[in-house]
A and B are shown apart, each in its own frame.
Chain A
């Protein structure tokens, strides 16, 4: 019986059980408490080490005793020693050259194609500065649904919806707007205002055909999985992991112009007095602060 007819199986081991318990503790701890996660990590590392030690034991076993090689003095040299000089035959050179050239050609083709496949998703992603119309269209203290097509040529798929509220003047005397992006911070469904939408007062403003509809929301709710937000976009119930994303704005010649998107964990205070810590825009479902945010150290290129 040769070695290929016996199953190549590691010996039975109980360490994986402890390792699995450790992993389970880490995952539970991420949700429940950091201490549990740390304990789980210790368990996982210890049992992982023991497991690896167990599995690699046959490999690490000390090599068996080997008789020193004994050279017989009278060994006659028979065939020509000149043949045994290290050579670099032509066939080795040719196969190395073929492999090398093939690799170079393959790389020359693969690298640009791979770049073309991946990079366009991450470059030229600037949001256009959309003109949301004169600020007079936004009565102080009231929400307005502003909806527009980011790229009218591409059509409805580029439709974006903002909930805009004129907060009046901030303490510094500058105009203040709250602009909430309608994408749920859970998994990106369209959040709806919880309150009457005044369809009769719908207007269309600006060159991009931005539609403005006044609304009186008590909060916002997501139809997909039931996430709920208050009028500052803070999560009040359901699965979302952070507050609604917001959009920066500027006012040019009396018109409200959208800037770039940013993510928010939680808004302190309300309206013009709100204190907001801005984070780079992250996809829905991703924490921007706290230990869970450590899982996403790379962010997404702007």
Chain B
């Protein structure tokens, strides 16, 4: 009598796990996900280490709300402003999604700076993570470009003249500045091409590059591990019961020994 429910339970478990096993056998994705989620991080990570994930979340919010806004937005000089008004006032929940995208943009930029400050102050940019800092700087530049190109899209007076000023700021760069400005505005003055060009850059070119760079960024985070805080006695990736390495044992990868020569 007692064996029967146990068998049924085992059968149920097998049935539930079958799709996962099927997937794992053919792709290894389940194992990869487990490795990603359950990889070792230093015991004394703290809330500051969540700023990178927070930035990623803000980026995903921007990506998703942006895609939905593109359902209703019309990148044409004669209807762009009206379509923004329609999104804000007429389309159901449009005000909310547009608000998320508009304010989320600021949140994204601010979180990027907080994340950057954390990495800088924790010394997490040092060997062997210099490349990830460089990728992060590229992502920051891309985020700024997103802000610049997205600002024009509401197509009101603020958007128009702010973009005129922004493009002409680019024009003052030495040598190729005037060419860059003329490329951005699609001619000597901002016109209909400028709006569709900025729209294309804003929702295809730059986000695509950002997705690729974020992929690289995360790959390096997983490959190199998370840094301990500067005050840590712990080495990254060490088991709880494994003894701390002797001072200087893995210099460069982690802070050798720890402050005050612990252990």
Residues of A within 8 A of B (CB): 5-9, 118, 120-122, 125, 127, 150-151, 154-158, 160, 187-190, 224, 261, 281-286, 295-300
Contacts and interface: CB of A to CB of B under 8 A. Distances in A.
B77 A297 contact: no
Interface in B123-164: 126-127, 160-161, 164
A157 B164 CA distance: 12
B171 A283 contact: yes
Given A7-B252, A121-B183, A158-B191, A224 B175 contact: no
B77 A155 contact: yes
B209 interface: no
A281 B188 contact: yes
B251 A187 contact: no
B187 interface: yes
Given A283-B171, A298-B178, A118 B161 contact: no
Contacts of A127: 188
Interface residues of B, number: 35
B14 interface: no
B186 A284 contact: no
B182 A154 contact: no
Contacts of B204: none
Interface of B: 77-78, 126-127, 160-161, 164-165, 167-169, 171-172, 174-179, 181-183, 185-193, 250-253
A299 B178 contact: yes
Contacts of B186: 120-121
A160 to B, nearest CB: 8
A126 to B, nearest CB: 10
B236 to A, nearest CB: 14
Contacts of A299: 178
Given A157-B190, A158-B191, A285-B168, A6 B251 contact: yes
Given A5-B251, A125-B188, A295-B174, A283 B181 contact: yes
